[in-house]
Structure 1
Amino acid sequence: MHLHSVYIKNIKQANENDRLAIFVGAGVSKSSDSDYRSLPLWSDLMSELKSDLAITEDLDYLKLAQLYYLEFGEQTYNQVLRKYFPEDITPSSLHRTILEVNPRVILTTNWDCIIENAIEQEGYLYDKICTDKDLVSSASPNKIIKIHGDFKNHNVVFKEDDYLNYSRNFPLIENYIKSIFSTHTVLFLGYSYNDINLKHIMKWMQSHSNSAPPMYLVNFKSDKPQESYLSNHGITTLVLDGENYSIDDVKNLDKRSALTQSFLTSIIKDDGEVDVNDEQDVIGFIYERIKHLKKLNSITHNQIRGAITNCGFRYDSDGLNVLELFKPKGVLTTDCSDSTRSIHEKFLEILARIDSFGEDEKDSFYRRNSKLTEILSILALAHIKGVVLPEANDNGRIVYFLNEKIDSAKNLEESDRKYISFSESECKSNDYIKYLSSGSYESYKLGEYEVAFKKNSELILACKRHKIYSILLIALFNKNSILWRLKYSFSNKNRSDFEKEVEVKLQDEFFKFPRSEIKRNQALYDFLALHSVHQKANDCTKKILDLTRAVESIKAGGISFNNYADEPTCTHINLLMFSLKNHIMIDQYAPYKAVMRDFVNISILRQSVKKIVKLNQYEIYSAIQFYPSKELQSELRVFFKSEDSNQLRLSASGGCLEWVVFTVLPKLTGQLVGSLSLFDGYESKFENCVRLLAVLNLSDAQVSNVMREFSRLIASDSTAVGTYEAINEFLAHQYELFDRDIETDILINILNTVIDKIISKTAHGWDQHAILNGSIGNLYGYIGVVKGEYTDKVRARRLVFELESYKSEEQRKFSKSLLYSIFKISDESVRNIIKAFIKVVISQSKTKGIDDWEFELWSFAVGFKDFDAEAISRLDEYLVQFRDGKIFSSQLYSLKNLTQYLINEKEVDALEGLNEELGDLIDQYEQRPNLSSI
């Protein structure tokens, strides 16, 4: 590598680390010369001073200025200086280029205001320092320091006394400048070898450490003695010439200024001094752009796109994608750079050549070019299976260089399942950072938020200590996620302990990073700040609308084309695994959850024109993890039993069904059974899993395992109405969609589990609510459908024995629900036991409230009691209270249904009058005006 390339690399690295200072001398100001206005030379000023003093001999200009000041006084002295440095000089492109480099510190010995004018015009943020007071009050890390003062502050440093008294007049600025030499790489621009200012600066440098960062002086003519002299003071001379730096594109500048601008441009440009004919340089260029990403366990497409630039992706139906590096005059992008694209073109030529190698030749090339192997490994972290090559096949399909560092899509799915199986992973790792990251994440998932907070705090300190900025940014984000749980979760009893913990202002922390790390981690920050998540949400909304229109068009006989049909699937996998593998605690943020749901919705919509919709494991995971239970139920309605001949079916890709039935469902059941809180979300995930399974065509073995998990859950004390309803739906859909023949023993076993909870007094309120309100009604129905028969007399006796201890009101409720449901599927001996109990309940005295009337009519309807004509007059008297419309009970609907049933099925015509009146009361209620109160 050319020495200049090494020096540029050092300067560029210093700038990325916020450790570059540029000294601007008089030569830079001369770049503002124009055809109608030329800045005077120092020699012009010296000549006027000598002429006014009538001095002919050569004097040091410091002494000359001192003599002029003593002879003519301060006012005349200042006037003559101002004449040579007008304030209205227009900055040149060189000044603007210096600002584009954006060094942390700009120092200048110039008195003119050209650089300040450029800062103001271009909108850069620099604090101007002309006095010690300015330095004390400066808040910005970016500073422009006028070390020789300026006319506005009346502190110009020029005459001999000014230099002799500098330490007394500018003590803070002098010490600050000296500190710059110890901490910053310094670049001198616009200084000649014999510049008196440079010599004065070198005096300050004499005491700085030998281990200080390098210093460079830009010049245009080689002078070995002078260069050796400067080298002894730690300054490396960079001689610029037309061979190394092209000035063809630089307009309106003299040659020296043009060469300086070209040199600065090479610092700004990301491609630096890359020799496109050098394989190592080209490969190294790509590697340098993405090497920072290898610290992460997974990478987003946006991170790759932002790091490499001038690139895009092709998406495949297997969920993987192919990187496309844009060539010159190719796809127009906002980051378009011809020089970068030229390097891309050479890189693609290298890949094309490797692609033609045999295996041994490939292995040899990879051993010689380890950076290429690293590039492929990093791309694999973003599920990139190859790089598009320039040639195209005859059939128009893309040809790509295969990334041998990535597994097949099938193997990737299998390896990814440990992240999406709702199970805990071991936090064993020799890497302390990874150990803390995974440990904090697992504690968070388990609801152990205080442990998670402690480990995450240790992770933040460790990342700061080792300067691992990407993981630090994630840990800072995770701190807020954990704090939210600690402060506001009802499951946390120690909320008050964390009330004073301050949440992280992620943007503020991010902008404290070194400039190079801000650039490298911009895509990660955009994701964590939810900027890119919101953008993806907008994209998904548009995609859903477009798909909806396309589906309607296709169903109406039209056609629709989409070259990016597989993009949502690839992006979904990428974003989901990025979050999970990097332990990002983003699952509680609504925009992220909405995007994950949208991807599932898009997949269903896109395939809805077919007869079968096939979901992959990532979509199944997202459906379980991110949907509210009722919303998923609504989403799945398209798969419910339909009389339409085009019945839409749901399927799962690959071995997903086995995975869901034998891994995911047992994990969710176990988590729900072991849950200590109503607010941990396990119930919703279990319900979602069951609702998905309900509309999937399962094998007998899979159904048996599902039913075993149901039995395990019902036997626990973690059941809720939603879980019973999900189980009920599973039975209904499995029968309606697939005419499923579930083994009687399995169904009876679940029923016995329910009965045993009543017998053992372990049935809690949700259990009883589900039993009494028909939330498991399909269980009895299924037993009847498969011609099952309940024959357990011992259990039946124990059940009625337990119910005998209940209050009359509860006995009536259980008689109508559980007992009668068992009665209908039992043999004669069990029926007799149940019937005897219910008859006793019927014979009990009643208060004749609405519950009593409902039970009595039910008794008539099921044939456990003969119809009593006197009941009509008693019921008529009871309904008096509702006739004025002031009060109403929803149970009147039930009474209406019972009277209608008795009329239609039992031919009790005497109830027609009451049935009609019940209908009138219900109509009167439903037609009442809507009232509101404040």
Structure 2
Amino acid sequence: MMSDIDKVFENMTTAPLLFIGSGFTKRYCGTMSWAELMEKLAQKIRSNSHYPLPSYRHEVGENIPDHKLFPKIASLMENEFNRKFFSGEEIFSVTELDRKKIEEGISPFRIYLAQLFSDVKKQKLEDSLQQELSDLKVASKHSVNGIITTNYDKFLEQIFPDYDVYIGQTDLIFSEATGYLEIYKIHGCCSDPQSLVFTEENYEEFERKKSYLTSKLLSFFMEHPILFLGYSASDANIQGIFSSIAECLNEYHLSMLAQRIVFVEYNLEQHTPIVTPYAFNFENKQLVLTKISTPSYLPIFKSLIKVKRNYNLNLLKRIKQDLYKTVHDNSPQDIIQVISSELLDEEGKIAPRHIMGFTNGHFSGHNVLKSEDVYRHIIMMDCKIEINS
């Protein structure tokens, strides 16, 4: 008998993008929550205080929600951390590479923060958690199109080593990202301390520039099913992303989008997974999507493995990049090549598709033909054009 979770994944017409939050890394690597990280940083900077984090809370004011409070505190921390560092206090260990970065103008606070996330490693896991990761690695080969994450660490790169990585909004804007076999680290990465979205100023800049990111995410959401992992439904990042997307769509298109989104929420209080509708409300709009509350990711990943791609994604990604270059550069002669249909068969099980188009007879590539040449070929028959499939 098919489970409710199997039914959710059976409705997916193609492999999904995974949208992964900090709860995912915490599950397998024991990383700190945001509150725990802020406590650690406060103790590092104000080691002589009996109440390091409360003292910061007092300075920024009362009745501020955590998603705004912590960035405000982080701004104070960065200024104080750097002031101590440049006054000669040995507040953290600096490598030779770190010294070069500091000389280039990178904030010592950001370098220290990057160090914390660079040290993230998988813990010794119980069998069920190890099985989850094993299943996800299997899914990465044929059941996942790409990854979007707000995480700073590099744990996902260990699970998806063949995926290209794009860091921050700038990488998305000036790259040829295709949505296939790629990891989009929209809040930065520890490999680039300057990219980390952490302080109040960082979040304000992120908001100012988010229009392109929203449009990019919206295009991804329309092209792929989206599976959210490692977030709470109340997470401010998720609320903000959904709110931005809701502003762009009417009720009909919101309902269409909702059918493509599955939100997985980890819940230890439940003994078995439960599939229910869940509503996100934004002013006069509502996004009702599918939520799976589960005490384990095992049934999620086992159902995910059953979702198969229709095409070899390495090939599809290459074609999409070549088409982008063709349109962008208007010089397709040496880019789009005649290919064998055998390359479309990923595992020997998929019936080959065919690509058909006009060519001028040079089989090393395709040229864009003038419309009059096509007319002459069809009507006058004095312009020979070969059709290949």
Distance in 2 (alpha carbons) for counterparts of 1:26 and 1:239: 17
Aligned residues: 261
Amino acid of the structure 1 residue aligned with 2:73: L
How has the CA–CA distance of structure 1 residues 106 and 72 changed in structure 2, closer, same or farther, with 3 Å as cutoff?
Answer: closer
Listed as ranges, the gaps of 5+ residues in structure 1 are 241-255, 273-291, 293-466, 468-501, 529-934
How has the CA–CA distance of structure 1 residues 2 and 230 changed in structure 2, closer, same or farther, with 3 Å as cutoff?
Answer: farther
SS in 2 for 1:128: strand
Distance in 2 (alpha carbons) for counterparts of 1:204 and 1:97: 33
Partner of 2:135: 97
CA contact (8 A) 2:187 2:196 kept: yes
SS in 2 for 1:234: strand
How has the CA–CA distance of structure 1 residues 77 and 234 changed in structure 2, closer, same or farther, with 3 Å as cutoff?
Answer: farther
CA contact (8 A) 2:168 2:187 kept: no
SS in 1 for 2:292: strand
Distance in 2 (alpha carbons) for counterparts of 1:83 and 1:521: 45
Compute the displacement of 1:63 (Å).
Answer: 3.3
Partner of 1:43: 35
Partner of 2:166: 129
CA contact (8 A) 1:21 1:104 kept: yes
CA deviation vs aligned residue, 1:204-225 (integer Å, no higher than 9, x gap): 331342222421111244899x
Alignment of 1:82 onto 2:114: yes
CA contact (8 A) 2:214 2:241 kept: no
Distance in 1 (alpha carbons) for counterparts of 2:343 and 2:154: 34
CA deviation vs aligned residue, 1:648-688 (integer Å, no higher than 9, x gap): xxxxxxxxxxxxxxxxxxxxxxxxxxxxxxxxxxxxxxxxx
Compute the displacement of 1:133 (Å).
Answer: 5.0
How has the CA–CA distance of structure 1 residues 30 and 80 changed in structure 2, closer, same or farther, with 3 Å as cutoff?
Answer: same
Distance in 1 (alpha carbons) for counterparts of 2:10 and 2:238: 24
Distance in 1 (alpha carbons) for counterparts of 2:167 and 2:118: 18
Partner of 2:195: 155
Distance in 1 (alpha carbons) for counterparts of 2:338 and 2:115: 54
Alignment of 1:114 onto 2:155: yes
Distance in 2 (alpha carbons) for counterparts of 1:133 and 1:164: 15
Partner of 1:27: 23
Structure with greater helix share of residues: 1
Distance in 2 (alpha carbons) for counterparts of 1:80 and 1:186: 33
Partner of 1:505: 339
Compute the displacement of 1:157 (Å).
Answer: 1.4
How has the CA–CA distance of structure 1 residues 21 and 204 changed in structure 2, closer, same or farther, with 3 Å as cutoff?
Answer: farther
Compute the displacement of 1:100 (Å).
Answer: 2.7
CA contact (8 A) 2:57 2:73 kept: no
Compute the displacement of 1:49 (Å).
Answer: 5.4
Distance in 1 (alpha carbons) for counterparts of 2:291 and 2:240: 18
| Alignment TM-score, normalising by the size of structure 2 | 0.56
CA deviation vs aligned residue, 1:845-888 (integer Å, no higher than 9, x gap): xxxxxxxxxxxxxxxxxxxxxxxxxxxxxxxxxxxxxxxxxxxx
Query: Following superposition of structure 1 onto structure 2, how do residues 338-377 of structure 1 map, counting pairs within 5 Å?
Result: none
Q: Name which one, 1 or 2, has greater alpha-carbon Rg.
A: 1
CA contact (8 A) 2:277 2:288 kept: no
Q: For 1:235, which of 273, 284, 289 is the aligned residue?
A: 289
CA contact (8 A) 1:24 1:110 kept: yes
Compute the displacement of 1:99 (Å).
Answer: 4.0
Amino acid of the structure 2 residue aligned with 1:27: G
Distance in 2 (alpha carbons) for counterparts of 1:230 and 1:167: 20
CA deviation vs aligned residue, 1:743-798 (integer Å, no higher than 9, x gap): xxxxxxxxxxxxxxxxxxxxxxxxxxxxxxxxxxxxxxxxxxxxxxxxxxxxxxxx
Amino acid of the structure 1 residue aligned with 2:265: N
Amino acid of the structure 1 residue aligned with 2:57: I
How has the CA–CA distance of structure 1 residues 195 and 84 changed in structure 2, closer, same or farther, with 3 Å as cutoff?
Answer: farther
CA contact (8 A) 2:56 2:73 kept: no
Distance in 1 (alpha carbons) for counterparts of 2:277 and 2:34: 23
Partner of 1:14: 14
SS in 1 for 2:73: helix
Partner of 2:363: none
Distance in 1 (alpha carbons) for counterparts of 2:338 and 2:227: 37
Compute the displacement of 1:14 (Å).
Answer: 2.5
Query: Following superposition of structure 1 onto structure 2, how do residues 505-544 of structure 1 map, counting pairs within 5 Å?
Result: 505-507=339-341, 510=344, 520-521=349-350
CA contact (8 A) 2:280 2:287 kept: yes
Alignment of 1:62 onto 2:68: yes
CA contact (8 A) 2:263 2:289 kept: yes
How has the CA–CA distance of structure 1 residues 519 and 193 changed in structure 2, closer, same or farther, with 3 Å as cutoff?
Answer: farther
Distance in 1 (alpha carbons) for counterparts of 2:145 and 2:203: 26
Compute the displacement of 1:46 (Å).
Answer: 3.1
How has the CA–CA distance of structure 1 residues 196 and 45 changed in structure 2, closer, same or farther, with 3 Å as cutoff?
Answer: same
Query: Following superposition of structure 1 onto structure 2, how do residues 797-836 of structure 1 map, counting pairs within 5 Å?
Result: none
CA contact (8 A) 2:278 2:289 kept: no
Identity %: 21
RMSD over aligned Cα atoms: 3.8
SS in 2 for 1:101: helix
CA contact (8 A) 1:62 1:159 kept: no
Partner of 2:219: 179
SS in 2 for 1:218: strand
CA deviation vs aligned residue, 1:820-857 (integer Å, no higher than 9, x gap): xxxxxxxxxxxxxxxxxxxxxxxxxxxxxxxxxxxxxx
How has the CA–CA distance of structure 1 residues 519 and 220 changed in structure 2, closer, same or farther, with 3 Å as cutoff?
Answer: farther
How has the CA–CA distance of structure 1 residues 131 and 187 changed in structure 2, closer, same or farther, with 3 Å as cutoff?
Answer: same
Compute the displacement of 1:61 (Å).
Answer: 3.6
SS in 1 for 2:18: strand
Partner of 1:201: 241
